């Protein structure tokens, strides 16, 4: 399973996200010993996130799903608010950020990264 976005996917998503703030939903499934690697990534990413105006809104552990198909449970959920797509793009391109992405990749068996927008803010609504 992929845990890091491909360059084409990143460009497409950034093109589709309208100007202004958005929240990135992160659904995370850790490798058997991956939580500590991901926590180290998070610790080191936080100053970079702040540098680009982002903020962690929520992080929590998943528990038993109420409604889900088998395999749709997640170890953790993370919500990160970015001021705009340009800030997100600059952060992920930052050489300091690129240095720590291996920690994230080693820690995750599977991930979903999905930008979210407040209702009523989509271009097609």
**pTM beyond cutoff 0.85:** yes
**Domain coordinates in residue numbering, the chain:** 7-63+74-116
The CATH T-level fold of domain 7-63+74-116 is Alpha-Beta Plaits (3.30.70)
The length of the chain in residues reads: 125
Q: Is the dihedral of CA 77, 34, 81, 121 positive or negative?
A: negative
Q: Starting at the edge strand that comes first in sequence, how are the strands of the sheet with 55-61 ordered?
A: 55-61, 76-82, 22-30, 108-116
The pLDDT of residue 124? 59
pLDDT tens sequence across 93-117: 999 999 999 999 999 999 999 999 9
Q: Is 116 helix (H, G, I), strand (E, B) or coil?
A: strand
For residue 43, give both structure tokens: 């610790």
Backbone angles phi, psi at 117, to 5 degrees: -130, 150
Residues 21-80: tens digit of each pLDDT? 999 999 999 999 999 999 999 999 999 999 999 999 999 999 999 998 988 899 999 999
Instruction: Count CB neighbours of 70 within 10 A.
Output: 6
């Amino acid at each position: 399973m992929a845990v890091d976005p491909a360059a084409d996917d990143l460009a497409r998503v950034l093109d589709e996200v309208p100007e202004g703030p958005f929240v990135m939903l992160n659904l995370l499934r850790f490798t058997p010993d991956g939580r500590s690697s991901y926590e180290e990534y998070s610790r080191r990413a936080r100053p970079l996130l702040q540098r680009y105006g982002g903020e962690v809104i929520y992080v929590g552990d998943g528990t038993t799903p109420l409604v889900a198909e088998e395999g749709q449970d997640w170890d953790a959920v993370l919500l990160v608010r970015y001021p705009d797509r340009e800030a997100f793009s600059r952060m992920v391109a930052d050489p300091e950020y690129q240095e720590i992405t291996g920690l994230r990749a080693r820690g995750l068996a599977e991930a979903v990264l999905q930008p979210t927008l407040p209702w009523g803010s989509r271009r097609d609504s």
